[in-house]
Amino acid sequence: MSSINQIPVIEAKKGNPLARVFDELVRFCRSRSLFILHYCTGCGAIELPPAMTSRFDMERLGIQPMVSPRQADILLITGYVSIKTLKRVILTYEQMGSPKYVIGICSCTVNGGMYWQSYATAKKLDEYMPVDLYIAGCMPRPEAVIAGLQQLMDSIHAGKANSWEDYYRNYDYYLGNQQKLFGDNWQTPTDVIAEAKHYNLLSKGTLGVHTRLLEQHQQPLEALEMRLGHNLKEPTE
């Protein structure tokens, strides 16, 4: 599980005159090719097809939907997240490669919105994962979605969209809230602490009461056994 520790981290050489130019170039390229994960969590997803297709055309900004979380950059939380969905959202978020950005669309992600008294939804999204940007409204128009995405592009270019680092720095806080909702034996397949060490982001808030609780309940993950072709070996009649 800690095999990620064995991968050597290449330290950036300080004082290289080209480093700043290179960083600027990387940030520029990053902000100009963003892939949104194709996961519609709630009703705000109905304004995404108009934003993506002919009329408002998100693709002119270099933004496209992507089906797999490993290749996606942006996790759009479109509206309310029920507790069952939130589990999948957290698993998906942890699977995405860094740097990753989270946008909360609709008022439901801010404070619960219409469903503030519902027993089934999680009210504040930023208790469970760091959020880069909120687009408020019920539901926000496609123009608002595109304006929000442009703002995200600007902040990526300026190097300010760094909320994904916050997840590693304050993992104990987020894990605590997740455990409060899902129970003490909540566990995800991703080893976040090892990743935090890998990114040199291990800080005071990463480890704490809740990560110790996780260690107590943690069960080793078994690799999925794929046994295909058993009857291929048998002679066919």
Partner 1 sequence: MRPENYEAQRQPPSNEYELNFGPNHPGIEGNYALKVKLHGDVVLEAKADGGYLHRGFEKLMEQRLWIQNIALVPRICVPDPSPMELCYSMAVEQLCGLKVPKRARWIRVMQLELSRIAAHLFTFGGHAATTGMYSTMYWGVADRDLLLDLFEEFTGGRVYSIYNIPGGVRRELPDGFLQRVTETLDYIESRLADYDNLFFKNQVFVKRAKGVGVMSREQALAWGVTGPNLRATGLAFDVRRDDPYLVYDQLDFDIPTEENGDAWARTLVRRHELMQSIRILRQVVEALPDIHGPIRAPIPNPLAWNVPAGETYTRVESSKGELCYYVVSDGGPKPYRVHVRGPSSMHAVQVLEKLSVGSRIEDIAQTMFSLDACPPEVDR
Q: Residue 158 corresponds to which tokens in the numbers above? A: 């300026």
- Of the listed pieces 3-11, 21-29, 119-127, 196-204, which binds partner 1 according to CB under 8 A? 119-127
Distance between CA 107 and CA 116 in Å, rounded?
A: 10
With CB under 8 A as the contact rule, the residue among 4, 9, 21, 46 that binds partner 1 is 46
Cβ atoms of 106 and 113 closer than 8 Å: yes
Q: Residue 145 corresponds to which tokens in the numbers above? A: 């979605």
Distance between CA 80 and CA 122 in Å, rounded?
A: 7
CB of residue 115 to partner 1, shortest distance in Å: 5
User: What residues does 76 pair with on adjacent strands?
Assistant: 103
User: Number of helices (H) and strands (E), helices first, in the chain?
Assistant: 9, 7
x/- letters, 94..113, toward partner 1 (CB under 8 A): --------------------
* Number of chain positions touching partner 1 (CB under 8 A): 42
Supply the DSSP symbol for 139. Answer: S
Cβ atoms of 139 and 104 closer than 8 Å: no
CB of residue 21 to partner 1, shortest distance in Å: 38
With CB under 8 A as the contact rule, the residue among 27, 30, 35, 38 that binds partner 1 is 38
Q: Is residue 138 at the binding interface for partner 1, with CB under 8 A as the rule?
A: yes
Distance between CA 213 and CA 230 in Å, rounded?
A: 41
Cβ atoms of 28 and 64 closer than 8 Å: no
- Of the listed pieces 10-18, 37-45, 156-164, 169-177, which binds partner 1 according to CB under 8 A? 37-45
**234-to-41, 54, 227, 229 alpha-carbon distances in Å:** 46, 54, 14, 9
x/- letters, 187..226, toward partner 1 (CB under 8 A): -----------------------------------x-xx-
- Of the listed pieces 11-19, 27-35, 78-86, 126-134, which binds partner 1 according to CB under 8 A? 78-86
With CB under 8 A as the contact rule, the residue among 31, 34, 76, 80 that binds partner 1 is 80
Residues that bind partner 1 (CB under 8 A): 37-43, 45-47, 49-50, 53-55, 67, 69, 80, 82, 84-85, 87-88, 91-92, 114-115, 117-121, 138-139, 141, 222, 224-225, 227-228, 230-231
